A and B are shown apart, each in its own frame.
Chain A
Amino acid sequence: MKKGVLSSRRAAKRRVAVFLALALFLAAVSLAAPYLVPNDPYQTNSDRMNAPPDARCPFGTDHLGRCVFSRVLMGARTSIFSALALVAVSFAVGTLLGMLCGWYGGVLDELVMRLADILLAFPQMVLAIAVAGILGGSLFNAMLAMGITGWTLYARLARSAVLQLRQEPFVAAARLSGCRTGAILFRHLLPNILGPLVVNAVTQIGSMMIGIAGLSFLGIGVTPPAAEWGSMISEAQGGMQLAPWAVLAPGGAMVVTVMIFNELGDSVRDLLDVSGQ
């Protein structure tokens, strides 16, 4: 029995390592995109409109003659880093608020949690579309629109975890040994509640990526001509009869990237679940 648990743990570790490596590889490629692109992603070329894939442009060109491969590479940066930044910020804000609510309770707790309740009454994408639509198209507004509801998840998780732990002897011990509240919260409580929060953060990356791309597709996120997968698909869908590659390339890149991040999330969850036993 013990051996089974150990080996499944090892398998989970290996999966995390594999997908983490893949995710880091994607992030590295997208960071290095400006140096890797074979052609200028914004250079239009009227001689080579809707050209099929060839040696110069491995994914062909779009309706303005721009190299799709270069645009997909540049778009990777927008998609991956906007999703990562969004998750990181909502994770930090939500966790901090949730911990403070759980620790202090009172008016702050009421205010923040009721706000979260109100926000949770809206389907996330509906609210995001409305907010991004009203604020107007830009990457920052799209991220803001997704993040408005994003933090509530972490706030609720962190709050309930802190509520559970604050009665534990180790908290009292830390207090007796002269720790300040900040030290108790961040040095003693945070490491103990981090597991489920991290799992949720990693699982959210993929759906955030899809959300931001969806807003861009609707024209209320990243706006053309900026290279972003959602807006690229939106731009190219009209010419799909002539240049299907201009949709398939960013679409394929999107699916592969989201799959890698989703799998990473799943494997991290498996790993932490097993270790929790």
Chain B
Amino acid sequence: MYLSPGDPAQKKLTAQGVAVNAQVLEKTREEMGLNRPFLAQYGSWLAGVLRGDLGTSFKDGLSVAAKLRKGVKNTAVLALGSLLLSLAVSLPLGVYTAVRQNGLGDRLIRLCSFAGGAMPNFLISVLLMYFFCIRVKAFPVIAKGTLQGLFLPSAALAIPLMSRFTRQIRAQVLEELGKPYVAGARARGVKERYILFGSVLHNALIPIVTLVGLSAGTLLGGSVVVETIFRWPGVGKLAMDAITARDYPVIQGFVILMAVVYVLINLLTDLAYRRLDPRLGRDGEGAR
């Protein structure tokens, strides 16, 4: 924090339209607690965090926790929306490409997924915005809280995920299809449909759960970019605004929140994995 250029006190005063002079600046610094030594500031902030108090925003004096709480719902909606969207697209595509391996569809979809995986989400956002808001005018440029407003930002977040998921699901299903029990079921005349949707899909989906957990980092990081572009009022946009305003308590609060969410998601993924795969459970504890 201390290596950074720009003085939060000065930023605050300019933002309020107060003429900056040395006296006013000094007084504001004192109010904001900025003239104390670095370690003292950090110590009191840390003590606050441990008590569940994330401090107050430099910019408007609101509590950081309240600001984050307002944004977190929007970010959660966006992240969940894009997760569902990407699963809804990549599950059928992944299974289809695995079953029709090396067919025309498989080749096309694979090419698309490689291109999609190489696209940064800011580029996708800008392109989506251009085509759907300006060319076709199907969506509002600034995302509103409606389902329609949710679509473009979540699509922008979902496209890189889709390509990753599709490839992984395809690989997973292919691996599962190559296992002896599939050959056994086929030999016994079990219909291909039952093999695929009864056994193979269930077994192939277990590793996919981990994948969803692993993509949490991409989702959380990407949400900052996408929220900023689409003006989606989530925590990511809050953080970007805070960075521009040098509003350190909000940035710190945001990073802490993200870390907690990230660790929680990874924990949940591990637990879900144990539940879905009884072999991993302790003494059959996780058996269904």
Given A134-B243, A135-B3, CB of A122 within 8 Å of CB of B258: yes
Number of A-B contacts (CB under 8 A): 117
Q: Contact: B122 with A130, CB < 8 Å?
A: no
From A122, A127, A217, contact of B122 by CB (8 A): A217
In the complex, what residue of chain A is closest to B251 when comparing beta carbons? A130
Is A76 part of the contact surface with B, judged by Cβ < 8 Å? no
In Å, the complex CA distance between A251 and B123 comes to: 6
Q: Contact: B259 with A121, CB < 8 Å?
A: yes
Binary interface profile of B, 233-246, with partner A (CB < 8 Å = 1, else 0)? 00000011001000
Residues 208 to 260 of chain B near chain A (Cβ within 8 Å)? 216-218, 220-222, 224-225, 228, 239-240, 243, 248, 251, 254-255, 258-259
In the complex, what residue of chain B is closest to A127 when comparing beta carbons? B255
Q: Contact: A263 with B114, CB < 8 Å?
A: yes
* Residues on B with beta carbons closer than 8 Å to the beta carbon of A126: 217, 220-221, 224, 254-255, 258-259, 262
In Å, the complex CA distance between A237 and B134 comes to: 12
Q: Contact: B134 with A214, CB < 8 Å?
A: no
Q: Contact: A255 with B243, CB < 8 Å?
A: no
Interface residues on B, range: 35 or more
* Residues on A with beta carbons closer than 8 Å to the beta carbon of B222: 125
Q: Is the interface of A mostly helix, strand, loop or mixed?
A: helix
Is B66 part of the contact surface with A, judged by Cβ < 8 Å? no
Q: Contact: A133 with B243, CB < 8 Å?
A: yes
In the complex, what residue of chain B is closest to A256 when comparing beta carbons? B118
Binary interface profile of A, 108-150, with partner B (CB < 8 Å = 1, else 0)? 0000000000000111111111100111100000000000000
In Å, the complex CA distance between A123 and B262 comes to: 7
Q: Contact: B114 with A130, CB < 8 Å?
A: no
Q: List 30 A-B contacts (CB under 8 A).
A: A121-B262, A121-B263, A124-B221, A125-B221, A125-B222, A126-B255, A126-B258, A126-B262, A129-B239, A130-B239, A130-B251, A134-B243, A135-B4, A206-B118, A214-B121, A217-B120, A218-B225, A218-B240, A220-B243, A230-B122, A240-B130, A247-B130, A251-B126, A255-B118, A255-B119, A255-B123, A256-B118, A258-B120, A259-B115, A263-B114
Besides A213-B122, A247-B123, 7 other A-B contacts (C-beta < 8 A): A123-B217, A123-B262, A130-B254, A254-B123, A255-B119, A259-B115, A259-B118
Residues of B within 8 A of A (CB): 1, 3-6, 114-115, 117-123, 126-127, 129-130, 134, 216-218, 220-222, 224-225, 228, 239-240, 243, 248, 251, 254-255, 258-259, 262-263
